[in-house]
């Protein structure tokens, strides 16, 4: 597995990969360097399992497909930036099933090897820099783009330059021995990322617990196709929490949709709605039914 991790991060990656290899069924694959928010999600949701860092989403998914990890923890959307790019293509193509979800409150920290007064620049992922831009402007710090937050922290620690800091998680600061100069520096206090857990085998949610179902479908090329396809959810009282369209393979003729609903096909109203959906579409692919992690109004 090749990567461009900074040296301090690579040392941790090598150690974590070696440990996970001994009991792969206990490994949870995630994208990014140790200390990434995906790593934080793994530690929160699976405190007794082994985090397995991977350079890309594809690598994390492939680790599960190949049996090097039991499950993968993949970010799907952020409260500020919407869906994660390409994830709605990767999920159905992976052949894996969503078996859970987890929400991480993103609390950015200002990290450095010295004190705040010595800082002149800070590294981080462009999205993270955008999420703290008002604080950076107030402090007179110049942003420097880096490919991910945790790697930025590892690079800043490795350079040892008091003038160069990083924006990343508290976990990244602790892993790379950086000083936490300020915490909660994001401009929006609702900054939250939703993750899904992917497994080779589907695991139906226990009956009686609030559930979610994620699926893709392609409408037929006829007038009012989407209206007809979704009508069964309204008549059966099934709440649609997400509906996003996208085009595939350069075709503008028929849109594909990614949708999420409350409930599972084991519940009669959902089963009836899904049956009506199938009647008005070319195909439907259920990616997974799983226990709901929290109220969508939270």
Q: Are residues 195 and 88 in the same domain?
A: yes
- Whether the CB-CB separation of 226 and 220 falls below 8 Å is answered with no
pLDDT of residue 294: 76
Q: Are residues 99 and 239 in the same domain?
A: no
Long-range contacts of 237-240 (CB under 8 A, 24+ apart): 237/269, 238/262, 238/263, 238/269, 238/270, 238/273, 239/263
Which is it for strands 211-219 and 256-262: parallel, antiparallel or unpaired? antiparallel
Q: Are residues 54 and 195 in the same domain?
A: yes
Q: Which of 197, 194, 162 is nearest to 179 (CA)?
A: 162
The answer to the question of residue 1 being in a domain is: no
The answer to the question of residue 204 being in a domain is: no
pLDDT of residue 253: 63
pLDDT tens figures, 44-97: 999 999 999 999 999 999 999 999 999 999 999 988 878 887 787 899 899 999
Q: Are residues 195 and 70 in the same domain?
A: yes
Which range of residues forms the domain containing residue 139?
109-183
Q: Are residues 170 and 284 in the same domain?
A: no
The answer to the question of residue 76 being in a domain is: yes
Q: Residue 168 belongs to a domain with what CATH number?
A: 3.40.190.10
Set 46, 57, 146, 193: catalytic member: 193
Q: Are residues 79 and 165 in the same domain?
A: no
- Whether the CB-CB separation of 146 and 125 falls below 8 Å is answered with yes
The answer to the question of residue 156 being in a domain is: yes
The answer to the question of residue 79 being in a domain is: yes
Q: Are residues 195 and 99 in the same domain?
A: yes
Set 46, 57, 195, 257: catalytic member: 195
- Phi and psi for 77 in degrees, rounded to 5? -160, 155
Q: How far is CA 201 from the centre of its chain?
A: 20
Task: State the total domains in the chain.
Answer: 3
Q: Are residues 63 and 195 in the same domain?
A: yes
- Whether the CB-CB separation of 219 and 277 falls below 8 Å is answered with no
Q: Is 279 a catalytic residue?
A: no
pLDDT of residue 296: 64
Which parts of the chain register pLDDT below 50?
1-2
Q: Are residues 215 and 148 in the same domain?
A: no
Q: Is 193 a catalytic residue?
A: yes
Q: Are residues 140 and 161 in the same domain?
A: yes
- Whether the CB-CB separation of 294 and 103 falls below 8 Å is answered with yes
pLDDT of residue 179: 98
| Domain boundary residue, one of 137, 172, 199 | 199
| Domain boundary residue, one of 166, 199, 232 | 199
| Domain boundary residue, one of 150, 175, 199 | 199
The pTM of the full predicted model, rounded to 2 decimals, is 0.93
The answer to the question of residue 258 being in a domain is: yes
Q: Are residues 122 and 98 in the same domain?
A: no
Strand arrangement, sheet containing 281-291: 240-246, 256-262, 211-219, 281-291
pLDDT of residue 295: 67
CA angle in degrees (0–180, nearest 5) for 197-200-202? 75
pLDDT of residue 2: 43
CA atoms within 13 Å, Cβ hemisphere of 76: 23
Q: Are residues 54 and 164 in the same domain?
A: no
The torsion region of residue 155 among left (phi > 0), alpha (psi -120 to 50) and beta comes to: alpha
């Amino acid at each position: 597995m090749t990567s461009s991790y900074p040296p301090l991060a690579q040392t941790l990656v090598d150690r974590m990969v070696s440990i996970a290899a001994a009991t792969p069924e206990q490994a949870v694959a995630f994208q990014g360097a140790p200390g990434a928010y995906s790593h934080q999600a793994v530690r929160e949701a699976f405190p007794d399992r082994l985090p397995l860092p991977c350079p890309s989403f594809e690598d994390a998914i492939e680790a599960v497909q190949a049996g090097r990890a039991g499950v993968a923890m993949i970010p799907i959307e952020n409260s500020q930036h919407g869906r994660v790019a390409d994830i709605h293509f990767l999920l159905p193509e992976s052949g894996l099933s969503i078996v859970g979800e987890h929400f991480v409150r993103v609390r950015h920290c200002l990290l450095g090897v010295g004190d705040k007064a010595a800082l002149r620049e800070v590294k981080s992922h462009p999205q993270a820099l955008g999420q703290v831009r008002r604080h950076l402007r107030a402090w007179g710090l110049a942003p420097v783009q880096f490919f991910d937050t945790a790697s930025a922290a590892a690079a800043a620690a490795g350079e040892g330059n008091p003038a160069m800091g990083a924006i990343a998680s508290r976990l990244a600061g602790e892993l790379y021995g950086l000083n936490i100069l300020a915490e909660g520096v994001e401009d929006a206090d609702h900054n939250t990322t939703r993750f899904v857990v992917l497994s080779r085998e589907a695991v139906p949610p226990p009956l009686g617990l609030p559930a979610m179902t994620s699926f893709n479908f392609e409408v037929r090329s006829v007038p009012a196709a989407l209206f007809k396809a979704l009508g069964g959810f309204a008549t059966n009282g099934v709440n649609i929490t997400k509906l996003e369209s996208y085009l595939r393979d350069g075709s503008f003729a028929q849109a594909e949709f990614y949708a999420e609903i409350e409930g599972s096909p084991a519940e009669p109203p959902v089963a009836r709605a899904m049956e009506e959906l199938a009647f008005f579409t070319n195909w439907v692919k259920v990616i997974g039914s799983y226990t709901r992690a929290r109220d969508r109004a939270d």
